[in-house]
Structures are given as C-alpha cells and as structure tokens.
Structure 1
C-alpha cells in the first residue's frame, strides 16, 4: 500500500513576543494553552482532542517553522521519507517528544520551499479538571472557555509564485486531491483547493502575483459553529481594539469567514463557518474562471494580502 496522509494536524508559528501573541491567541481568540516549554507554547482549539494544533515559539521575527500533517499509520513515515529522498529532497527525522506531545516525525522542504512535517502519533491530554467537560466526547466545557473560541483546525492558505506546480506536486507526490480550482481568463491557474483526507479543503494554494516572493502562509482557518459566531468574534475584536481583515462568504467552498491578525506577529486566523463536505470517491473538481466570478468572493472581501514567510 502506498503511504497516505490522514489530515492537516498543526502549524508551528514564530513570533517576536510570545507573551504578547498569547494575549491574542489565548485571551482574545480563545485557544487553550496545553503546555509551555521554554520559549514555546502549545495551543489547541476547544473541541480538539490532540495535544496541539498551534505551536507558538518566540523568535527574532515572525515566521512559519512548519505545517504538520498526520499520516494514516506509522509505516507511512518511512515510506514517505523514502519517496521524498528518491526525488532528491532532504528529509530530517525528528525524535518523539522533540515537539511536545508528538511522536516521531519527518521534516522537509517542498520543491517550492514550504516547510512540512509528517507525523503519526500525537498525545491526547486531558484538560485541567476545572475546565473539563462532563461529556466524555468533548474536551473543554463551554462555561469555562472564551465563548467565541474556535472549535478545530480546518485549513491553511499557502501562497506560492509557482502555485500550479506546487499543487501538482502535492497531488503526485503526497496524494492530495483537488476539490475546486479557479483559472484566470488567460487560462492560468490562480488557486487550487486541495485536501489530504478527502472530505474538505485543507490546503488552498494561491498564485502569488508578486514575482520573487518567498512561499508564505496567508492564514490558518478554524471552524466555528454558525455565522452568528463570526459576528460575536467581530464584536470581541472591536472590544479589544483589534482591527479585522474582512467578513463575508467565499464562493469557493461556500465558507463564511472573518479574518483577524495577531497585532504582535501578523499571523492571521480565519474564523470559518458553513461550507460543505465531500465523501464521494468519484468527485470531480469544481472548475471556476474569472467569467464565472470576477471578484472570487460571494459576499464581502478580504482587505489584506499580507502573509508570513517561512
């Protein structure tokens, strides 16, 4: 059997001021700090079982250390390492526990420069007793958490000056599948929307129209329950004096969105509601062109193209 990825797992971010960023990610947005070691804090959303879906590390400047993907089994780690090395890609093995809560992993740079990590095992720690839900199939109690806290990690948006080539490599080398795609009127590809697990978009690969830019992360998206949560989140940002980057509904994926950035690091979080799931093994990608939708959004717009490099 060929190696397989199971899903998007976590993103490791860098910030010039860890405590300052934590005041945004934890106090304002509502992520739960699971553990802290040295200059790194491990966070998870309130309905996640895994040890973390965000790692925040203090560094000289903002950056993205890696994006973590979980494999379907431990054997896939070695198989992926062999496949990647066969393509001439350097693979670094990471010992279990080097990233807290995580088992053995491999890290590598994709051909266009995105930093990826593959792992299989991740701890599922219990929250503190005073914050734990009485439901065994739920982690944190809503009565103890920030009411706008996002539920779970959903997807990343990756910018690349060779977005079409990167998306093709994700399919051929790593087994991603395409859910939707958007072409300009000249036939060039603006965006490819892919998944590793087969039931939703997990990597939105966008063509960076400013030639010469390094590959970058535009945002990490987290699910909330309803569109009302987007307005509650907007209200909370206003109360804290944090500007937002736009609210509305995408055409691609049909997801409703609110974007907001950490004032310290510039890392962007998308609150995402709605959308659809795909379980059909015979799914045909939905193809969009500028003739279908010139503005690419159904309602509203995102105000900023700022993104953070690796």
Structure 2
C-alpha cells in the first residue's frame, strides 16, 4: 500500500471557464446536472446523488480554460501540510478563504510542479441529494464526479510525484514492449475505484477530460438519444463503447467550448491493498476500446488549456515565455 502523506480522499470538482454561460447551461442541463447555485457569471452544478454543494463550476470568461482541478482532503491539518509541502517544492500556494468559492470552506490553490492549477479543500456545504428524487431527474441524470485525465508534459516525474509524494495508487498502466520499457499512461486512485487521476504522456499541461459517473449503460445511451433528438449529435466525439482499461462503459462529449466530458460507468472495486496493477501493451488496441474500434484523432490530439494562476491567462507552453515557465515548474 502506498504511503498516504496528506489524506487526500478523492477528486472533488473542476472549474471550467466557458465563453457563453447560458449556452453551456443548456448543454449540461441535457446531461442532467443539478444547479445548486448561480450568480450572474457562475453556475455551481452537482450530480443527482451528490450531497455537497458542487462538483462542477462553470465560470463566464473570454477564453475557455480549466481554472482548477480540486481534491478533497480529510482535515484542515492536511491543508497546512500541503502548504508546507508545495512551498518546499518551489511552488507558490495561496489560501482561499471560506466562501471565496461558493459553498466551500478554506482551500489551498497552487500551480503544481507540472503547471496544473490544483486546489485542495476539507469542508463543503451539505445540500440535499436527489438520489431517490426520481421525479426531479432530467436528461441523463449524471450521478457524481469520478476522475480527471491530464496530458502530462513530464510524464515520468509526474508519475513519481503523484504516487511516491502524493500517495496515489496505481491500478492500470500502458507500457511499451521493447526494452527499455516505457510507460505512457497510468490510472491512479484514492477512492476505491479505478482512478481519481489518469495521466497520459503528451503536450501539456492540458486537461484531457473530466469524468462523471452514470447509473448504468442505459443512461449513457439515453444521453446519445437526447443529443441526437436535439440535433446536437456533433457534441458526441467518441463512443458509446467499453474500455479495455478500467472495463468502463463510456461516452466522450465535447461541450460548447470544446471541454471534453466523459460519461462513465461499470468499472471495478480497488480497495484491496494487495491488488496488482494491470499492464497493457501499447500495441494492444483493446486497451482503448475492448471491441477494437478506432479512436478518433481529436481524442489523441486535443485537450483543454489550463489557467496560469500568475497571469490569469491560459498556460500556453508555446507562447513567448511559456516554455521557460514550464521549465520552472518541472525542474
């Protein structure tokens, strides 16, 4: 079992910058999210079974980016320890006071060593679950947040960071067959499912997708029917299908700003401490889709930019100065 230095419980929410809040609201309403709270420039959404204020924040902005990825920790002591940890790592963590993000207690926000804006919090306002309020379910009735997937600019060091330093546990991975063998993707968990965080080797820092858990395969197919009936079929990028990795039944969508959302169900329990990670060969097409059909090029190449907390603009590693800032993070 991996050492657990900070008692991180699970992935908790994401904040997405969107360019037209009403257009985004209509899209996420079709997926069945519940609106917990709204302001003139923000929507706070949750799945039907969630008992906390939000698992997705949509914020009006000029440019679509991922503003932060958030993990819940067990206590405020963990926040203090994380602050010291990131300072020693040469990062610049800052405190967000209770209420600065609606419904949330005191939190720590930091650009991590690989350029990702990451937040940690311990407390969030409790709200009513719609779990058994079936008469209030709409669209696909998204249940809860499940995971983040990221393109990592320095995969090997990022893998070491999240496993050895942050205490995440490896469940499945993709590796080359030739020697020396090289890992190109990894699925890491804190909660007892396949992953809270997946990482893939690629240009970054970018967020590939945010995954949300669905009740069953039928609910995912229902989303396809809803989008097709509304003539919004172009939002369907990939699937429905079944992954080899994780065994999950999936559907990938692109929201109106291009942010990728995965609807996900039917993976497996990972609570046993002696569970061995599953290896997939990088030449095995079933790792992508157990049924073997081709993954579209956009899925491999496109992802959401992340917010540079220092400048308030997208973290563009190709822009002037961007490459040097990235070097600062991953040194």
User: Normalization by structure 1: what TM-score?
Assistant: 0.90
Following TM superposition, the consecutive aligned residue runs of length 4 or more in structure 1 with deviations greater than 6 angstroms are none
**2:226 corresponds to which of 236, 241, 253:** 236
Unaligned runs of 5+ in 2: 307-331
**2:6 corresponds to which of 3, 8, 13:** 3
Structure-2 change in CA distance of 1:124 and 1:222 (3 Å): same
Query: Residue 279 of structure 1 corresponds to which residue in structure 2?
Result: 271
Measure how far apart 1:294 and its partner are.
6.4
**1:202 corresponds to which of 186, 196, 201:** 196
Distance (whole Å) between structure 2 residues aligned to residue 236 and residue 302 of structure 1: 23
**2:147 corresponds to which of 146, 152, 155:** 155
Measure how far apart 1:196 and its partner are.
2.2
Structure-2 change in CA distance of 1:202 and 1:301 (3 Å): farther
Query: Residue 309 of structure 1 corresponds to which residue in structure 2?
Result: 305
| 1:132-165, Cα deviation, whole Å (9 max, x unpaired) | x5xxxx3x62212214121111111111232232
Structure-2 change in CA distance of 1:105 and 1:257 (3 Å): same
**2:33 corresponds to which of 31, 44, 51:** 31
Greater shift in the superposed pair: 218-227 or 99-108: 218-227
Distance (whole Å) between structure 1 residues aligned to residue 78 and residue 133 of structure 2: 35
Query: Residue 243 of structure 2 corresponds to which residue in structure 1?
Result: 250
Measure how far apart 1:125 and its partner are.
2.0
In the alignment of these two chains, the number of paired residues is 294
Unaligned runs of 5+ in 1: 128-132
| 1:64-113, Cα deviation, whole Å (9 max, x unpaired) | 00000000122100011111211212111110000000000001112111
- Secondary structure of the equivalent of 1:220? strand
Distance (whole Å) between structure 1 residues aligned to residue 147 and residue 214 of structure 2: 13
Measure how far apart 1:291 and its partner are.
4.7
Task: Output aligned runs, 1:174-189, within 5 Å.
Answer: 174-186=166-178, 187-189=181-183
CA contact (8 A) 2:170 2:186 kept: yes
Taking only aligned residues, the RMSD between alpha carbons, in angstroms, comes to 1.7
Query: Residue 15 of structure 1 corresponds to which residue in structure 2?
Result: 18
2:262 is equivalent to residue 259 of structure 1:
no
User: Normalization by structure 2: what TM-score?
Assistant: 0.84
